[in-house]
Amino acid sequence: MADAITSTSDNKANIPLWLLAELSYACPLQCSYCSNPVNYHESRSRELSTQQWKDVLKAGRKLGAVQLGLSGGEPLVRQDLEEIVAEARGLGFYSNLITSTVGADSKRLAGLKEAGLDHIQVSFQGSDEQTNDYFGGSKSFQHKVAMAREVKKLGFPMVLNFVLHRQNIHQTAAMLELANDIGADFVELANTQYYGWALKNRNSLMPSRQQVLDAEAVTNAFRQQHKGPMEVIFVVPDYFEERPKACCNGWGTTFITVTPDGTVLPCQSAMELPGLDFPNVRDHGLDWIWRESPLFNTFRGTDWMQEPCRSCPEKDQDLGGCRCQAYLLTGDINATDPVCSLSPEHGIIGEAIAEALSETTEQPLLFRNPKTAKQLSS
């Protein structure tokens, strides 16, 4: 495999507008499409302290970040979440809690509101109790509905997020009706992207092209019939596109992620990539990491590209696509993302879809927690 080429692009002059703080990989849910690292449990004992997270937020604001995502795992497992939120408010962040709501109650949500939290995104795994609880590996549906209503009662702007896959995509209409009934401001119908646990479960989660088209048609029909304030976003799975997405809006241009143990990444899945040195806030300042570290400069701009990307007229739009997806599918971190129809390895995508849809019997899902998997399969 060829070594990555360090770019000399001026893109490192950009500022990270969005800081994602992955406060903990611990989670009461065990989703089979989770994007957390498959060895997530190894970092729990090395989580950043409250003060270290405050220092990260201060450094992020100094760099220019204005949007703060509080994620995980499940960020509510951190008992200092309110203190971190209050620090973010004092620094001037617009903060968004990305949560399953498991671990929340009306008192804690009110406390987060008082601390200065601006926005909440609530995840669902299905439109009904049976589907949601199975794919989340936890009896949580009724609690989620109650907490989502409480979120709106407290006046938070709220996104409901549904991750779509072969085994729940037929519920798209019901998901939209549920969101409408709860009073969500935004609904994100996010088709599964295949990283982390989702890649391990790809053959069980991959929908057919017709299922995706049908779900998109249902979504468009809902938009026409319900012209209220709720905005609906339908995210097509990469495997069914002809052109790849720019990796996190461009590697090292917009997003910066800090993991529970302080590792700093250009995207959530970057640690999938071999041969790279991943800096940590315990050892380096966030400013140096963003501007000077080899990691953040490896795929900035277009200097690193090989053909066909190097001479492609669209290279400044998609920037070669997703580096993690390219590596996971081809074994080469510099390869054109195979999602692109111009990639010499585009056939990998068709083969993956065909393999998934050729399964004559549904394969058991691999959940984050082996105990959960055993209980659900028994």
76-89 b/e with 16+ CB inside 10 Å = b? bbbeebbebbbbbb
Measured between alpha carbons, how far is 333 from 74 in angstroms, rounded to an integer? 30
The secondary structure of residue 377, as a DSSP letter, is H
Contact 72, 31 (CB under 8 A): no
Can you tell me which residue has the tokens 């407290």?
154
User: Is there a binding annotation on residue 267?
Assistant: no
Measured between alpha carbons, how far is 312 from 299 in angstroms, rounded to an integer? 16
Token duo for residue 259: 């993991």
User: Is there a binding annotation on residue 31?
Assistant: yes
184: helix, strand or coil = coil
Measured between alpha carbons, how far is 255 from 290 in angstroms, rounded to an integer? 10
User: Is there a binding annotation on residue 312?
Assistant: no
Strands 264-265 and 186-191: unpaired
Q: What is the edge-to-edge ordering of all strands in the sheet holding 186-191?
A: 231-235, 186-191, 158-164, 119-124, 94-99, 67-72, 18-24, 255-258, 264-265
Binding site, annotated residues for [4Fe-4S] cluster:
27, 31, 34
Binding site, annotated residues:
27, 31, 34
